[in-house]
């Protein structure tokens, strides 16, 4: 897959037509624009959304642009970001179902007299961990396409039937075929814990996707979507003419909602909700565009339930993700400051999944900033929003304690005691918390940096509460381990690990480096908190608190 050069970002953005957001006719009244519509929760069918008067964010300007720019495209986005709906909309567009697009951008920018045959495949459901299931699943899908098209292949192999189908549809319709493949990678991702099956699924799909290139004379347009970006060598060696638009700035909002979408399309749903809190909780995903986007599933559930919650995060427990982070010794602290390159963020394969790629492609980290490293883009990664930061740290703590009840009780007490600056109670609470961490977990974890490990546990506790927490904050005198702003107070933490308690504490460093100076302008009370751990006892040996 071709990797875009992000240096041309400004030029690309300037040349991109701006998609219209659920455009209405001039004759519509203001009252009609503000009518409440059906929330399309779980609906991935464009026809159903339009016929049932659902809210719809117009993405059709992107479709016109894609057709004008090329013919073979690939897009990676996390789950529940609207990829399936986008593909279904492409299907209706190429099939020429003009009434569904009335009032949308593409309505006056498309030749509706031409209709193209469409082959749409989806691997969104099924038990792909079972040997041979992928082949059976695909054969069943091809059966359905052939039945609806009234053609029949004599080939016994899936690639052979696929190639026959594309050629037959071209001959019958007199127009080249549109190929749309949704969740192209799910048969591999679902089987990652069974490497042999995952490899078999990968090899099977490689042959299937190579068929598309071999059938190029009969193909009008190709679009593949998925969560991950497997390398060309492992999966797309036979389909090397795909254009990867995952990190092309002018396609960054192709999936997801922008602030403009919320303010225009969903205006009837906003009264009674804090707009800034909506941004803090759900905005923040970035694929190098000028603006960050929201996950649609979060926004729709918020409008339905009228309260903030971890709706996207809760739809799939990231057990594999958490276990991978722990087994690799990735601390909660590290997730705020990971670095990635184009190559690293695309390095996803069965035998080696880079931590940065895993977190970025699945949506738990996003691009916060971009630097230039000798002409190569270098990306600063971080949590996209409050939902992911809070929920992922809750999951890490739950894995650490292996006791959800203990975790909940600890977090509740942490909030209550911090609210009244009960520092003695906080010391007791954290000593109890560290004592509850199973000893075997300490001995099995690969983190050699005990100070970083202990600090990471502290950070995860505060972040899981949703508090404003900053780690390793740079000042003119050095880097402070952790700063927490809560209830109109600033709490500055410094951590130290010692072999024996007699070695001293971290309070001297807090004072000598004048860390508090950076925070005085806020005019809030500042509390210096020096936490000292014993490497031998794996617990606190000192918890000193002093005013700045």
Closest CA to 169 of 209, 204, 142: 142
What is the model's pTM? 0.86
Interatomic CA distance for residues 397 and 289, integer angstroms: 33
Interatomic CA distance for residues 199 and 180, integer angstroms: 23
Q: Cβ neighbours of residue 492 under 8 Å, at least 6 residues apart?
A: 480, 482, 483, 510, 515, 516, 519, 526, 527, 528, 529, 548
Interatomic CA distance for residues 315 and 79, integer angstroms: 10
3 state SS of 366: strand
Closest CA to 175 of 118, 113, 111, 117: 117
Length of the chain: 548
Q: What is the pLDDT along the chain (548 residues), one digit of tens a residue?
A: 544 333 333 333 333 333 333 333 333 334 345 689 999 999 999 999 999 999 999 999 999 999 999 999 999 999 999 999 999 999 999 999 999 999 999 999 999 999 999 999 999 999 999 999 999 999 999 999 999 999 999 899 999 999 999 999 999 999 999 999 999 999 999 998 899 999 999 999 999 999 999 999 999 999 999 998 876 556 676 677 889 999 999 999 999 999 999 999 999 999 999 999 999 999 999 999 888 999 999 999 999 999 999 999 998 766 788 888 888 888 888 888 899 988 888 777 787 888 999 999 999 999 999 998 888 899 999 999 999 999 999 998 888 777 778 788 889 999 999 999 999 999 999 998 888 877 544 444 444 455 667 788 888 999 999 999 988 877 666 788 899 999 999 999 999 888 765 556 678 888 888 889 989 999 999 999 999 988 788 888 899 999 98
**Helices 83-94 and 60-69: angle between axes, nearest 10 degrees:** 70
Domains and CATH numbers, the chain: 6-12+26-251 (3.40.50.300), 418-547 (3.40.1350)
Q: In the structure encoding, which two tokens stand for residue 281, read together?
A: 């909780």
Strands 366-373 and 489-498: unpaired
* Contact status, residue 369 vs residue 404, Cβ threshold 8 Å: no
* Contact status, residue 388 vs residue 363, Cβ threshold 8 Å: yes
């Amino acid at each position: 897959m071709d990797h875009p050069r992000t240096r041309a970002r400004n030029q690309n953005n300037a040349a991109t037509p701006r998609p219209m957001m659920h455009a209405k006719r001039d004759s519509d009244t203001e009252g009609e624009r503000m009518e409440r519509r059906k929330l399309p929760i779980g609906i991935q069918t464009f026809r159903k959304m339009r016929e049932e008067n659902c809210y719809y964010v117009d993405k059709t300007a992107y479709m016109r642009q894609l057709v004008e720019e090329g013919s073979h495209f690939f897009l990676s986005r996390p789950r529940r970001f609207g990829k399936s709906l986008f593909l279904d909309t492409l299907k209706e567009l190429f099939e020429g179902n003009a009434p569904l697009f009335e009032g949308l951008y593409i309505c006056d920018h498309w030749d509706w007299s031409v209709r193209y045959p469409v082959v749409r495949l989806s691997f969104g459901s099924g038990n792909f961990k079972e040997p041979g299931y992928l082949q059976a699943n695909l054969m069943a899908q091809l059966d359905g396409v052939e039945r609806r098209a009234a053609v029949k292949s004599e080939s016994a192999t899936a690639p052979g039937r696929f190639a026959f189908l594309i050629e037959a549809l071209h001959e019958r319709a007199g127009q080249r075929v549109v190929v749309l493949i949704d969740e192209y990678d799910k048969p591999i991702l679902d089987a990652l814990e069974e490497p042999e099956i995952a490899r078999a699924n990968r090899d099977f799909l490689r042959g299937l996707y190579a068929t598309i290139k071999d059938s190029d004379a009969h193909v009008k347009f190709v679009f593949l979507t998925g969560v991950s970006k497997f390398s060309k060598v492992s999966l797309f060696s036979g389909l090397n003419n795909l254009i990867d638009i995952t990190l092309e700035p002018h396609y960054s909002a192709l999936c997801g909602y922008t602030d403009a979408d919320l303010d225009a399309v969903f205006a009837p749903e906003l009264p009674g909700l804090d707009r800034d809190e909506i941004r803090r909780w759900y905005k923040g995903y970035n694929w190098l565009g000028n603006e960050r986007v929201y996950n649609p599933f979060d926004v729709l559930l918020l409008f339905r339930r009228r309260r903030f919650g971890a709706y996207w995060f809760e739809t799939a427990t990231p057990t594999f993700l958490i276990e991978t982070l722990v087994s690799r010794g990735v601390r909660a602290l590290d997730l705020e400051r990971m670095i990635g390159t184009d190559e690293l963020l695309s390095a996803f394969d069965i035998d080696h999944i880079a931590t940065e790629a895993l977190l970025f492609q699945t949506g738990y980290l996003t691009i916060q900033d971009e630097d230039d490293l000798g002409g190569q883009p270098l990306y600063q990664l971080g949590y996209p929003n409050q939902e992911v930061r809070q929920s992922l740290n809750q999951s890490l703590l739950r894995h650490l304690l292996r006791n959800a009840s203990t975790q909940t009780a600890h977090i509740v007490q942490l909030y209550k005691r911090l609210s009244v600056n009960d520092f003695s109670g906080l010391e007791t609470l954290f000593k109890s918390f560290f004592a509850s961490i199973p000893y075997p977990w300490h001995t099995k974890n690969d983190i050699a940096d005990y100070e970083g490990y202990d600090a990471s546990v502290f950070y995860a506790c505060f972040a899981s509460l949703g508090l404003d927490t900053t780690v390793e904050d740079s000042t003119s005198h050095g880097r402070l381990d952790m700063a927490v702003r809560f209830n109109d107070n600033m709490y500055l933490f410094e951590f130290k690990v010692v072999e024996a308690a007699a070695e001293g504490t971290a309070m001297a460093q807090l004072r000598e480096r004048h860390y508090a100076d950076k925070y005085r302008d806020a005019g809030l009370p500042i509390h210096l908190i020096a936490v000292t751990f014993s490497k031998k006892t794996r617990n606190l040996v000192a918890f000193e608190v002093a005013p700045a």
